[in-house]
Structure 1
Amino acid sequence: MDLAIFDLDNTLLAGDSDYQWGEFLIDIGVVDRAAHASINDQFYADYKVGKLDIDAFLAFQLKPLSNNSRAQLDAWHLQFMQTKIQPMMTEKSRALVEKHRANGDVLLIITATNSFVTGPIAQAFGIPNLIGTVPEEVNGEFTGKVVGTPSFQQGKITRLNEWLAERGETLKDFDTTWFYSDSHNDLPLMKRVDKPVAVNPDPVLEAYAKDQDWPIISLRN
Protein backbone atom coordinates (compact mmCIF):
# COMPACT_ATOMS: atom_id res chain seq x y z
CA MET A 1 0.00 0.00 0.00
CA ASP A 2 1.26 3.46 -0.94
CA LEU A 3 0.91 6.80 0.84
CA ALA A 4 -0.01 9.67 -1.46
CA ILE A 5 0.59 13.07 0.14
CA PHE A 6 -0.62 16.25 -1.53
CA ASP A 7 0.17 19.86 -0.81
CA LEU A 8 -2.97 21.92 -1.33
CA ASP A 9 -2.37 25.52 -2.36
CA ASN A 10 -1.11 25.93 -5.92
CA THR A 11 -0.79 22.14 -6.10
CA LEU A 12 -4.18 20.42 -5.96
CA LEU A 13 -5.75 23.87 -6.17
CA ALA A 14 -5.03 26.24 -9.03
CA GLY A 15 -4.54 29.03 -6.52
CA ASP A 16 -4.00 29.67 -2.82
CA SER A 17 -6.90 28.99 -0.45
CA ASP A 18 -5.33 30.99 2.37
CA TYR A 19 -4.87 34.06 0.20
CA GLN A 20 -8.33 33.67 -1.32
CA TRP A 21 -9.95 33.41 2.13
CA GLY A 22 -8.53 36.85 2.87
CA GLU A 23 -9.82 38.14 -0.46
CA PHE A 24 -13.21 36.63 0.24
CA LEU A 25 -13.43 38.39 3.61
CA ILE A 26 -12.60 41.63 1.84
CA ASP A 27 -15.24 40.99 -0.83
CA ILE A 28 -18.02 40.49 1.74
CA GLY A 29 -16.95 43.48 3.81
CA VAL A 30 -15.74 41.62 6.90
CA VAL A 31 -12.30 43.21 6.77
CA ASP A 32 -11.21 46.52 5.29
CA ARG A 33 -9.54 46.20 1.90
CA ALA A 34 -7.00 48.97 2.42
CA ALA A 35 -5.93 47.64 5.81
CA HIS A 36 -5.96 43.94 4.94
CA ALA A 37 -4.96 43.54 1.31
CA SER A 38 -1.49 45.07 1.43
CA ILE A 39 -0.53 42.98 4.48
CA ASN A 40 -2.02 39.83 2.94
CA ASP A 41 -0.13 40.49 -0.29
CA GLN A 42 3.15 40.99 1.57
CA PHE A 43 2.79 37.75 3.50
CA TYR A 44 2.03 35.93 0.26
CA ALA A 45 5.09 37.45 -1.41
CA ASP A 46 7.23 36.46 1.58
CA TYR A 47 5.92 32.90 1.34
CA LYS A 48 6.79 32.62 -2.33
CA VAL A 49 10.41 33.62 -1.71
CA GLY A 50 10.77 31.46 1.40
CA LYS A 51 10.91 34.30 3.94
CA LEU A 52 7.51 33.96 5.61
CA ASP A 53 7.40 34.65 9.36
CA ILE A 54 4.89 31.92 10.12
CA ASP A 55 4.08 33.17 13.63
CA ALA A 56 3.37 36.72 12.46
CA PHE A 57 1.36 35.40 9.55
CA LEU A 58 -0.78 33.14 11.70
CA ALA A 59 -1.50 35.95 14.18
CA PHE A 60 -2.75 38.00 11.22
CA GLN A 61 -4.56 35.18 9.44
CA LEU A 62 -6.39 33.76 12.46
CA LYS A 63 -7.63 37.10 13.79
CA PRO A 64 -10.84 37.08 11.70
CA LEU A 65 -11.62 33.62 13.09
CA SER A 66 -11.47 34.90 16.65
CA ASN A 67 -13.46 38.04 15.80
CA ASN A 68 -16.51 36.15 14.50
CA SER A 69 -18.75 33.35 15.76
CA ARG A 70 -18.21 29.81 14.52
CA ALA A 71 -21.75 29.70 13.15
CA GLN A 72 -21.11 32.82 11.08
CA LEU A 73 -17.73 31.55 9.90
CA ASP A 74 -19.25 28.24 8.81
CA ALA A 75 -21.92 30.07 6.82
CA TRP A 76 -19.30 32.23 5.14
CA HIS A 77 -17.20 29.18 4.34
CA LEU A 78 -20.02 27.60 2.35
CA GLN A 79 -20.09 30.71 0.17
CA PHE A 80 -16.28 30.73 -0.01
CA MET A 81 -16.27 27.16 -1.32
CA GLN A 82 -18.70 28.05 -4.09
CA THR A 83 -17.17 31.34 -5.19
CA LYS A 84 -13.44 30.86 -4.62
CA ILE A 85 -12.53 27.19 -4.18
CA GLN A 86 -14.60 25.20 -6.65
CA PRO A 87 -13.25 27.18 -9.63
CA MET A 88 -9.71 26.23 -8.49
CA MET A 89 -10.40 22.48 -8.33
CA THR A 90 -9.22 21.34 -11.75
CA GLU A 91 -10.14 18.18 -13.63
CA LYS A 92 -6.49 17.13 -13.64
CA SER A 93 -6.26 17.48 -9.87
CA ARG A 94 -9.38 15.41 -9.36
CA ALA A 95 -8.08 12.78 -11.80
CA LEU A 96 -4.77 12.52 -9.93
CA VAL A 97 -6.54 11.99 -6.62
CA GLU A 98 -8.82 9.38 -8.17
CA LYS A 99 -5.84 7.55 -9.69
CA HIS A 100 -4.31 7.12 -6.24
CA ARG A 101 -7.68 6.24 -4.71
CA ALA A 102 -8.24 3.53 -7.33
CA ASN A 103 -4.81 2.12 -6.44
CA GLY A 104 -5.94 1.73 -2.83
CA ASP A 105 -3.45 4.31 -1.57
CA VAL A 106 -3.78 6.20 1.71
CA LEU A 107 -4.62 9.79 0.75
CA LEU A 108 -3.39 12.76 2.79
CA ILE A 109 -3.36 16.52 2.32
CA ILE A 110 -0.65 18.37 4.25
CA THR A 111 -0.82 22.15 4.18
CA ALA A 112 0.31 25.17 6.15
CA THR A 113 -3.14 26.68 5.74
CA ASN A 114 -5.33 26.29 8.81
CA SER A 115 -7.71 23.37 9.11
CA PHE A 116 -10.82 25.56 9.32
CA VAL A 117 -10.19 26.83 5.80
CA THR A 118 -8.92 23.54 4.40
CA GLY A 119 -11.12 20.90 6.06
CA PRO A 120 -14.07 21.34 3.69
CA ILE A 121 -11.68 21.46 0.72
CA ALA A 122 -10.21 18.08 1.64
CA GLN A 123 -13.78 16.75 1.91
CA ALA A 124 -14.59 18.14 -1.53
CA PHE A 125 -11.68 16.15 -2.97
CA GLY A 126 -12.80 13.09 -1.03
CA ILE A 127 -9.48 12.97 0.83
CA PRO A 128 -10.14 11.65 4.36
CA ASN A 129 -6.86 12.68 5.98
CA LEU A 130 -5.78 16.29 6.53
CA ILE A 131 -2.83 17.83 8.30
CA GLY A 132 -3.23 21.58 8.53
CA THR A 133 -2.21 24.21 11.02
CA VAL A 134 -4.69 23.82 13.89
CA PRO A 135 -6.47 26.95 15.19
CA GLU A 136 -7.22 26.79 18.90
CA GLU A 137 -10.85 26.48 19.94
CA VAL A 138 -12.41 27.10 23.34
CA ASN A 139 -16.06 26.12 23.77
CA GLY A 140 -16.39 25.79 20.00
CA GLU A 141 -15.08 29.27 19.22
CA PHE A 142 -11.69 30.21 17.79
CA THR A 143 -9.22 32.09 20.01
CA GLY A 144 -6.80 33.29 17.33
CA LYS A 145 -4.03 31.06 18.68
CA VAL A 146 -2.45 27.90 17.27
CA VAL A 147 -2.40 24.40 18.73
CA GLY A 148 0.87 22.51 18.30
CA THR A 149 3.34 22.92 15.47
CA PRO A 150 2.31 24.83 12.34
CA SER A 151 2.54 22.49 9.34
CA PHE A 152 4.98 24.69 7.45
CA GLN A 153 8.42 23.82 6.04
CA GLN A 154 10.14 21.51 8.57
CA GLY A 155 6.91 21.55 10.58
CA LYS A 156 5.30 19.40 7.90
CA ILE A 157 7.72 16.61 8.77
CA THR A 158 7.00 17.02 12.48
CA ARG A 159 3.25 16.91 11.97
CA LEU A 160 3.46 14.01 9.50
CA ASN A 161 5.50 11.96 11.95
CA GLU A 162 2.97 12.72 14.70
CA TRP A 163 0.11 11.65 12.43
CA LEU A 164 1.88 8.44 11.46
CA ALA A 165 2.71 7.67 15.09
CA GLU A 166 -0.97 7.97 16.00
CA ARG A 167 -1.64 5.30 13.37
CA GLY A 168 1.22 3.12 14.63
CA GLU A 169 3.11 3.64 11.37
CA THR A 170 6.20 5.22 9.86
CA LEU A 171 6.97 6.16 6.26
CA LYS A 172 8.84 2.86 5.93
CA ASP A 173 5.60 0.93 6.47
CA PHE A 174 4.34 1.96 3.02
CA ASP A 175 5.41 0.36 -0.24
CA THR A 176 5.91 3.77 -1.83
CA THR A 177 5.49 7.30 -0.48
CA TRP A 178 4.53 10.15 -2.80
CA PHE A 179 4.50 13.90 -2.21
CA TYR A 180 3.15 16.40 -4.71
CA SER A 181 4.01 20.07 -4.18
CA ASP A 182 4.54 23.33 -6.02
CA SER A 183 6.78 25.06 -3.49
CA HIS A 184 10.42 25.06 -2.48
CA ASN A 185 9.11 25.55 1.07
CA ASP A 186 8.22 21.85 0.91
CA LEU A 187 11.69 20.61 -0.02
CA PRO A 188 12.36 19.23 3.49
CA LEU A 189 9.46 16.78 3.14
CA MET A 190 9.98 16.15 -0.57
CA LYS A 191 13.47 14.86 0.26
CA ARG A 192 11.99 12.34 2.72
CA VAL A 193 9.60 10.51 0.38
CA ASP A 194 10.26 7.91 -2.31
CA LYS A 195 8.52 9.76 -5.11
CA PRO A 196 8.62 13.57 -4.91
CA VAL A 197 6.70 15.25 -7.75
CA ALA A 198 6.94 18.95 -8.57
CA VAL A 199 3.56 20.36 -9.58
CA ASN A 200 3.55 23.66 -11.47
CA PRO A 201 6.65 24.42 -9.42
CA ASP A 202 8.03 27.79 -8.40
CA PRO A 203 11.42 28.63 -9.97
CA VAL A 204 13.50 27.37 -7.04
CA LEU A 205 11.70 24.04 -6.86
CA GLU A 206 11.72 23.68 -10.64
CA ALA A 207 15.49 24.09 -10.76
CA TYR A 208 16.01 21.62 -7.91
CA ALA A 209 13.61 19.08 -9.44
CA LYS A 210 15.42 19.24 -12.77
CA ASP A 211 18.76 18.77 -11.03
CA GLN A 212 17.45 15.74 -9.13
CA ASP A 213 15.55 14.37 -12.13
CA TRP A 214 12.24 14.53 -10.27
CA PRO A 215 9.03 14.45 -12.31
CA ILE A 216 7.56 17.86 -13.10
CA ILE A 217 3.85 17.94 -13.96
CA SER A 218 1.04 20.43 -14.41
CA LEU A 219 -2.41 20.04 -12.88
CA ARG A 220 -3.86 23.06 -14.65
CA ASN A 221 -6.60 22.47 -17.20
Structure 2
Amino acid sequence: MRVVTVDFDGTLYQGNSFKVMFDVAKKQYKAKQWIVVGFGTAKAIGKLITSGKESAKHMFFRSFVKSFKGKSKAELEEFFNDLAYGDLERVNRPLVDKVKKHIENGDKVVILSGALNPFLTAFREAVGLEEADIIGSELFYDGNKISNGKMGDIVNGEKKAEKVQEWLKNRGLTVEDVTLWAYADSESDGPLLDMVDHPVVVNPDEDMEKLAEQKGWPVFGN
Protein backbone atom coordinates (compact mmCIF):
# COMPACT_ATOMS: atom_id res chain seq x y z
CA MET A 1 0.00 0.00 0.00
CA ARG A 2 1.32 3.45 -0.92
CA VAL A 3 0.41 6.51 1.15
CA VAL A 4 1.20 9.92 -0.32
CA THR A 5 1.21 13.00 1.91
CA VAL A 6 1.12 16.43 0.27
CA ASP A 7 1.80 19.70 2.05
CA PHE A 8 -0.45 22.69 1.33
CA ASP A 9 1.20 26.10 1.82
CA GLY A 10 4.08 26.51 -0.61
CA THR A 11 3.45 23.09 -2.13
CA LEU A 12 -0.05 22.45 -3.47
CA TYR A 13 -0.72 26.15 -3.02
CA GLN A 14 2.07 28.52 -4.02
CA GLY A 15 1.29 31.13 -1.42
CA ASN A 16 0.41 31.62 2.24
CA SER A 17 -3.07 30.49 3.25
CA PHE A 18 -3.03 32.59 6.41
CA LYS A 19 -2.35 35.76 4.39
CA VAL A 20 -5.29 34.92 2.12
CA MET A 21 -7.47 34.35 5.19
CA PHE A 22 -6.39 37.72 6.57
CA ASP A 23 -7.09 39.46 3.23
CA VAL A 24 -10.64 38.06 3.11
CA ALA A 25 -11.15 39.09 6.74
CA LYS A 26 -10.22 42.67 5.82
CA LYS A 27 -13.24 42.74 3.53
CA GLN A 28 -15.67 41.03 5.92
CA TYR A 29 -14.67 41.75 9.54
CA LYS A 30 -16.31 44.33 11.76
CA ALA A 31 -14.77 46.34 14.62
CA LYS A 32 -15.51 43.72 17.28
CA GLN A 33 -13.55 41.07 15.41
CA TRP A 34 -10.64 43.41 14.71
CA ILE A 35 -10.37 44.16 18.43
CA VAL A 36 -9.85 40.44 19.04
CA VAL A 37 -7.24 40.29 16.29
CA GLY A 38 -5.54 43.39 17.72
CA PHE A 39 -5.13 41.81 21.15
CA GLY A 40 -3.76 38.71 19.44
CA THR A 41 -1.23 40.78 17.53
CA ALA A 42 0.03 42.33 20.76
CA LYS A 43 0.42 38.88 22.33
CA ALA A 44 2.22 37.59 19.24
CA ILE A 45 4.72 40.48 19.42
CA GLY A 46 5.42 39.57 23.02
CA LYS A 47 5.89 35.94 22.02
CA LEU A 48 8.29 37.00 19.27
CA ILE A 49 10.50 38.70 21.85
CA THR A 50 10.44 35.85 24.37
CA SER A 51 10.13 32.69 22.27
CA GLY A 52 11.00 33.45 18.64
CA LYS A 53 9.33 33.75 15.26
CA GLU A 54 7.65 30.33 15.08
CA SER A 55 5.98 30.68 18.49
CA ALA A 56 4.82 34.18 17.55
CA LYS A 57 3.26 32.90 14.32
CA HIS A 58 1.41 30.18 16.22
CA MET A 59 0.19 32.69 18.81
CA PHE A 60 -1.14 35.02 16.10
CA PHE A 61 -2.84 32.10 14.31
CA ARG A 62 -4.63 31.04 17.51
CA SER A 63 -5.57 34.62 18.27
CA PHE A 64 -7.03 35.05 14.79
CA VAL A 65 -9.10 31.90 15.28
CA LYS A 66 -10.59 33.53 18.41
CA SER A 67 -12.23 36.02 16.06
CA PHE A 68 -14.34 33.14 14.69
CA LYS A 69 -16.10 32.77 18.07
CA GLY A 70 -19.88 32.89 17.67
CA LYS A 71 -19.81 32.06 13.96
CA SER A 72 -21.81 29.04 12.86
CA LYS A 73 -20.16 26.15 11.06
CA ALA A 74 -22.17 27.04 7.94
CA GLU A 75 -20.97 30.67 8.05
CA LEU A 76 -17.36 29.59 8.39
CA GLU A 77 -17.69 27.05 5.61
CA GLU A 78 -18.83 29.91 3.37
CA PHE A 79 -15.87 32.00 4.57
CA PHE A 80 -13.40 29.22 3.73
CA ASN A 81 -15.06 28.56 0.37
CA ASP A 82 -14.41 32.22 -0.47
CA LEU A 83 -10.76 31.66 0.39
CA ALA A 84 -10.35 28.45 -1.58
CA TYR A 85 -12.14 29.58 -4.72
CA GLY A 86 -10.86 33.16 -4.65
CA ASP A 87 -7.16 32.49 -5.26
CA LEU A 88 -6.99 29.50 -7.59
CA GLU A 89 -4.36 31.11 -9.82
CA ARG A 90 -1.77 30.17 -7.16
CA VAL A 91 -2.62 26.49 -7.28
CA ASN A 92 0.38 24.35 -8.27
CA ARG A 93 -1.41 22.72 -11.22
CA PRO A 94 1.46 20.39 -12.25
CA LEU A 95 1.58 19.00 -8.70
CA VAL A 96 -2.23 18.68 -8.54
CA ASP A 97 -2.04 16.65 -11.77
CA LYS A 98 0.73 14.51 -10.23
CA VAL A 99 -1.38 13.88 -7.13
CA LYS A 100 -4.35 12.90 -9.29
CA LYS A 101 -2.09 10.35 -11.00
CA HIS A 102 -1.26 8.92 -7.58
CA ILE A 103 -4.99 8.55 -6.89
CA GLU A 104 -5.58 6.92 -10.29
CA ASN A 105 -2.80 4.45 -9.47
CA GLY A 106 -4.57 3.42 -6.27
CA ASP A 107 -2.37 5.35 -3.85
CA LYS A 108 -3.96 6.82 -0.73
CA VAL A 109 -3.41 10.58 -0.71
CA VAL A 110 -3.44 12.74 2.41
CA ILE A 111 -3.28 16.54 2.33
CA LEU A 112 -1.15 17.33 5.38
CA SER A 113 -0.94 20.91 6.63
CA GLY A 114 -1.04 23.36 9.49
CA ALA A 115 -3.90 25.15 7.72
CA LEU A 116 -7.39 24.78 9.19
CA ASN A 117 -9.38 21.69 8.20
CA PRO A 118 -12.35 23.62 6.71
CA PHE A 119 -9.98 25.56 4.45
CA LEU A 120 -8.31 22.32 3.30
CA THR A 121 -11.73 20.74 2.71
CA ALA A 122 -12.84 23.65 0.52
CA PHE A 123 -9.54 23.64 -1.38
CA ARG A 124 -9.71 19.88 -1.93
CA GLU A 125 -13.06 20.30 -3.63
CA ALA A 126 -11.97 23.39 -5.59
CA VAL A 127 -9.11 21.53 -7.30
CA GLY A 128 -10.81 18.14 -7.72
CA LEU A 129 -8.99 16.12 -5.05
CA GLU A 130 -12.12 14.97 -3.22
CA GLU A 131 -10.72 11.46 -2.74
CA ALA A 132 -7.81 12.74 -0.64
CA ASP A 133 -7.93 12.57 3.15
CA ILE A 134 -7.11 15.64 5.22
CA ILE A 135 -4.86 16.08 8.24
CA GLY A 136 -4.92 19.72 9.31
CA SER A 137 -5.45 21.96 12.30
CA GLU A 138 -8.87 21.36 13.84
CA LEU A 139 -11.39 24.13 14.41
CA PHE A 140 -13.65 23.50 17.41
CA TYR A 141 -17.43 23.99 17.64
CA ASP A 142 -19.91 23.60 20.47
CA GLY A 143 -22.88 21.23 20.41
CA ASN A 144 -24.86 23.68 18.30
CA LYS A 145 -22.10 23.87 15.65
CA ILE A 146 -21.07 27.35 16.77
CA SER A 147 -17.35 28.16 16.87
CA ASN A 148 -15.94 28.58 20.37
CA GLY A 149 -12.89 30.40 19.01
CA LYS A 150 -10.51 27.54 19.76
CA MET A 151 -8.42 25.22 17.65
CA GLY A 152 -6.41 22.03 18.13
CA ASP A 153 -2.74 21.35 17.54
CA ILE A 154 -1.12 23.29 14.71
CA VAL A 155 0.10 20.55 12.40
CA ASN A 156 3.60 21.76 11.69
CA GLY A 157 7.17 20.48 11.98
CA GLU A 158 7.52 17.24 13.94
CA LYS A 159 3.75 17.26 14.51
CA LYS A 160 3.27 16.31 10.84
CA ALA A 161 5.27 13.10 11.26
CA GLU A 162 3.34 12.33 14.46
CA LYS A 163 -0.02 12.92 12.77
CA VAL A 164 0.86 10.61 9.88
CA GLN A 165 1.78 7.86 12.33
CA GLU A 166 -1.48 8.48 14.20
CA TRP A 167 -3.44 8.34 10.92
CA LEU A 168 -1.82 5.00 10.11
CA LYS A 169 -2.40 3.64 13.62
CA ASN A 170 -6.12 4.44 13.35
CA ARG A 171 -6.14 2.11 10.32
CA GLY A 172 -4.20 -0.66 12.04
CA LEU A 173 -0.98 0.20 10.23
CA THR A 174 2.54 1.43 10.97
CA VAL A 175 5.09 3.17 8.77
CA GLU A 176 6.65 -0.25 8.16
CA ASP A 177 3.41 -1.57 6.64
CA VAL A 178 3.20 1.01 3.84
CA THR A 179 5.35 2.80 1.30
CA LEU A 180 5.29 6.47 2.26
CA TRP A 181 5.71 9.44 -0.04
CA ALA A 182 5.83 13.09 1.02
CA TYR A 183 5.72 16.26 -1.06
CA ALA A 184 6.76 19.32 0.97
CA ASP A 185 8.55 22.64 0.63
CA SER A 186 9.88 23.74 4.00
CA GLU A 187 12.83 22.95 6.26
CA SER A 188 10.28 22.49 9.05
CA ASP A 189 9.04 19.45 7.09
CA GLY A 190 12.41 17.78 7.62
CA PRO A 191 11.18 15.25 10.24
CA LEU A 192 8.44 14.11 7.86
CA LEU A 193 10.74 13.91 4.85
CA ASP A 194 13.28 11.94 6.90
CA MET A 195 10.57 9.46 7.93
CA VAL A 196 9.18 8.57 4.50
CA ASP A 197 10.46 6.24 1.79
CA HIS A 198 10.09 8.76 -1.03
CA PRO A 199 10.64 12.40 0.02
CA VAL A 200 10.06 14.98 -2.72
CA VAL A 201 10.85 18.68 -2.29
CA VAL A 202 8.58 21.22 -3.98
CA ASN A 203 9.28 24.94 -4.57
CA PRO A 204 12.33 25.02 -2.28
CA ASP A 205 13.88 28.27 -1.14
CA GLU A 206 17.68 28.51 -1.11
CA ASP A 207 18.08 26.90 2.32
CA MET A 208 15.71 24.06 1.50
CA GLU A 209 17.43 23.49 -1.83
CA LYS A 210 20.75 23.09 -0.01
CA LEU A 211 19.18 20.67 2.47
CA ALA A 212 17.65 18.64 -0.36
CA GLU A 213 21.04 18.42 -2.02
CA GLN A 214 22.67 17.28 1.22
CA LYS A 215 19.98 14.67 1.86
CA GLY A 216 19.69 13.53 -1.75
CA TRP A 217 16.02 14.44 -1.90
CA PRO A 218 14.65 14.96 -5.43
CA VAL A 219 13.06 18.30 -6.31
CA PHE A 220 9.71 18.18 -8.10
CA GLY A 221 9.95 19.65 -11.59
CA ASN A 222 13.74 19.28 -11.85
TM-score by length of 2: 0.82
Q: d(CA) in 1 for partners of 2:137 and 2:78?
A: 21
- In the alignment, what sits opposite 1:89? 91
**What code does the residue aligned with 2:125 have?**
Q
**Counterparts of 1:40-189 in structure 2 under 5 Å?**
51-53=53-55, 55-84=58-87, 86-124=88-126, 125-139=129-143, 140-147=145-152, 149-174=153-178, 176-189=179-192
Name the larger-Rg structure.
2
Q: After superposition, what is the alpha-carbon deviation per residue over 1:39-92, rounded to whole angstroms, capped at 9, x for unaligned?
A: 5xx89xx8xxx93116413322312322533332222233222212x2222321
CA contact (8 A) 1:109 1:127 kept: no
Residue ranges of structure 2 left out of the alignment (5+ in a row): none
Structure 1 counterpart of 2:194? 191
- Choose 98-107 or 69-78, whichever is displaced more: 69-78
8 Å CA contact retained: 2:180, 2:197: yes
How far apart, in 2, do the equivalents of 1:93 and 1:9 lie?
13
Kept after mapping to 2: 8 A contact 1:112/1:132: yes
Q: Do the aligned partners of residues 126 and 70 (structure 1) sit closer, same or farther apart at CA in structure 2, a change above 3 Å counting?
A: closer
1:26 corresponding residue in structure 2: 26
Shift in CA distance, 55/80, structure 1 to aligned 2, threshold 3 Å: closer
2:220 — aligned with what?
A: 217
Q: Is the Cα contact below 8 Å between 2:83 and 2:119 reproduced in 1?
A: no
Contact 2:85–2:123, Cα closer than 8 Å, also in 1: no
Alpha carbons of 1:66 and 1:29: their partners in 2 closer, same or farther (altered >3 Å)? Answer: closer
Q: 1:184·1:202 contact (CA, 8 Å) conserved in 2?
A: no
Q: Find the aligned partners of 2:19 and 2:122 in 1 and give their Cα distance.
A: 16
Contact 1:197 1:217 in 2 (8 A): yes
State percent identity of aligned pairs: 26
> What TM-score do the two structures reach when normalised by structure 1?
0.83
Consecutive unaligned residues of structure 1, counting only runs of 5 or more, are none
The offset of 1:15, in angstroms, is 1.2
CA–CA distance in structure 1, aligned partners of residues 163 and 84 of structure 2: 26
Q: Which residue is equivalent to 1:8?
A: 8
Give the paired residue count. Answer: 208
Amino acid at match of 2:109: L
Contact kept, 8 Å, 1:17 with 1:118, in 2: the verdict is no
- Residues 155 and 218 (structure 1), Cα distance of their counterparts in 2 relative to 1, 3 Å cut: same
Displacement of 1:98 in angstroms is 1.4
CA distance in 2, matches of 1:79, 1:150: 22
Match of 2:64, as an amino acid?
Q
